[in-house]
Amino acid sequence: MTSPLLPVILCGGSGTRLWPLSRETYPKQFLALGGDGVSMLQDTAKRLDGVAPHIPQAAPIVVCNSEHRFLAAQQLQEAGISGARLVLEPVGRNTAPALTLAALVADPHAVLLAMPADHVMTDVAQLHGAVQTAWELAKGGAMVTFGIVANRPETGYGYIQKAQAIDGCNAFAIQSFAEKPSLELAQAYVESGNYFWNSGLFMVRADQWLKAMAALQPQMLQACRAAIEQSSRDLDFIRPHGDTFAACPSDSIDYAVMEHLPGNKALGIPARVVPLDAGWSDLGAWDALWDVLPHDAQGNAHTGQTLAIDTRDSLLFSETCLVAAVGVDNLVIVETPDAILVADKRKTQDVKKIVAELKVQKRSLASTHRKVHRPWGWYDSIDSGERFQVKRIVVNPGAQLSLQMHHHRAEHWIVVKGTAQVTNGDKTFLLAENESTFISLGYTHRLANPGKVPLEIIEVQSGSYLGEDDIVRFEDTYGRAPQPVASP
């Protein structure tokens, strides 16, 4: 009986504490925060490359929000990950249901390694060693978590108390779990040497996970099983039934299962913790990013165009323009094309309050960037005013927009790079670089990229209403529902 290692990448979450870079439509797991162009999802998917020759490894299962499906698929393709299956959650229900969906579509004997897509590990060799130890335990029936070797008292993490050592390997039985402690209690935990930070990484055989769910969370298992049985599949996407999955209780892997295992002899699933000292961070907020980035002599971390004078222990993050700081300490300064954040580095957990207030005010900055990603590519709203809007549009090779029409606006397209295939009314033709066309109000039209390089155009819209909801779709490659006609 083989027990292949099957990565299960948990790719949900909105990352509100990393606003304005992370937003609902493009959350932190899809961002390249290290400045190397590699997103956190891509880094997670590649993290197990070369883990051990003797461990068979299956292509990953990625559990993500259905709205992010094309973004996740594209990033996996760009990272060279082939054969991945994407399980699309119609609604978020936390990590226990997400892992259950993955277990239901996996080989029962596969060893699942649940990995959040938004973690950082700077020492992959240490991770590989811990994974090898955990795989041996998990294929034998144990449920394993990874305990981060605590190097400081930390009140933002949960803790795992170890019990007796397991013979023959660097692992321990689990005595108990502890919630996020006070500073004094965290200090006592670290000084005792008996506690690890709870990493949120878990390894368990698929059939053992389902056994635990049947005993501990039968309602959750029933809802997930029914959602998979009624699921639809297209390409590499697995779509659990929406209404059925929405009825599933919401809970984390820790609370739903892991914390019930120590001392539960009747269930017969040993709980184990493997120490992990791999430069781990969950990048929960901007101060965590400051921790993992390189620092200058004054303790500042820099990304993008930045300049710091008489400034210490600060994070300067720029996407489009120079960010300069003079005479400040312990600040986080983040610039994006449409928002700037300035925060005390000790208060970065409260950035989520900004997002909450933006939602109360019904401002789109809470959820979307100026640059908006679509299944076919992306667009960036460069400028706008009364009765006009200018967009930069990039269409991926072989991709096309929906066949559509607008009731309230006309469009002028200028090709900057690549070749455009244009449908304009009853005509279809090609445009090369520096050529243009005009789409009259009410005309059916489509933009496609028949070439092998990205197509880039400038679109100038004019009309009485320029909202994105003024789209009537007649045909769409990506299965998006027709949008209602706007009534400004």
Provide the residue count of the chain: 488
pLDDT at 481: 57
- Structural tokens at position 352: 């989520």
Give the number of C-alpha atoms closer than 13 A to the C-alpha of residue 233, restricted to the C-beta side: 9
Taking 90 as the threshold, does the pLDDT of residue 479 lie above it?
A: no
pLDDT at 478: 78
Calculate the CA dihedral of residues 99, 100, 105, 109 and round it to 10 degrees.
Answer: 80
Tens-digit pLDDT profile for residues 378-412 = 999 999 999 999 999 999 999 999 999 999 999 99
HEC string for 275-319: EECCCEECCCCHHHHHHHCCCCCCCCEEECCEEEECCECCEEEEC
- The stretch 109-138 carries a mean pLDDT of 95
- Domains of the chain and CATH, by start: 5-281 (3.90.550.10), 294-360 (no CATH), 371-475 (2.60.120.10)
The Cβ of residue 164 has, within 10 Å, a number of other Cβ atoms equal to 8
pLDDT at 151: 86
Which parts of 35-157 fold into alpha helices (H)?
40-46, 69-78, 95-105, 124-139
Residues 6 or more apart whose CB falls under 8 angstroms from that of 123 comprise 277, 278, 279
Tens-digit pLDDT profile for residues 153-200 = 988 889 999 999 999 899 999 999 998 899 999 999 999 999 999 999
The more confident residue out of 478 and 26 is 26
Taking 50 as the threshold, does the pLDDT of residue 484 lie above it?
A: no
Peptide bond between residue 20 and the one before it cis (omega within 30 degrees of 0) = yes
pLDDT at 480: 62
- Structural tokens at position 158: 């949960």
Tens-digit pLDDT profile for residues 248-287 = 999 999 999 999 999 888 899 999 999 999 999 888 899 9
Inter-residue contact 431 to 439 (CB < 8 Å): no
- The stretch 79-89 carries a mean pLDDT of 94
The Cβ of residue 382 has, within 10 Å, a number of other Cβ atoms equal to 14
Placement of tokens 């965290």 in the chain: 186
pLDDT at 476: 84
The Cβ of residue 197 has, within 10 Å, a number of other Cβ atoms equal to 24
- The stretch 338-346 carries a mean pLDDT of 96
Placement of tokens 């144990």 in the chain: 142
Taking 80 as the threshold, does the pLDDT of residue 321 lie above it?
A: yes
Q: Residue 460 is which amino acid?
A: V
- Structural tokens at position 144: 């394993």
pLDDT at 482: 55
pLDDT at 487: 37
Neighbouring-strand partners of residue 172: 165, 273
Q: What's the distance, Cα to Cα, between the start and end of the chain in Å?
A: 63
Among 11-15, 261-265, 304-308, 420-424, which stretch is predicted with the lowest mean pLDDT?
A: 11-15
Mean pLDDT of the chain: 93
- Structural tokens at position 189: 């935990």
Nearest CA to 31 out of 355, 371, 376 is that of 371
Taking 70 as the threshold, does the pLDDT of residue 453 lie above it?
A: yes
Tens-digit pLDDT profile for residues 215-240 = 999 999 999 999 999 999 987 799 99
In the chain, the percentage of residues whose pLDDT exceeds 70 is 98
Taking 50 as the threshold, does the pLDDT of residue 486 lie above it?
A: no
Confidence of residue 67 (pLDDT cuts 50, 70, 90): confident
Distance CA 445, CA 436 (A): 14
Inter-residue contact 5 to 47 (CB < 8 Å): no
Nearest CA to 441 out of 462, 458, 456, 421 is that of 462
With a threshold of 0.85, does the pTM exceed it? yes
pLDDT at 62: 97
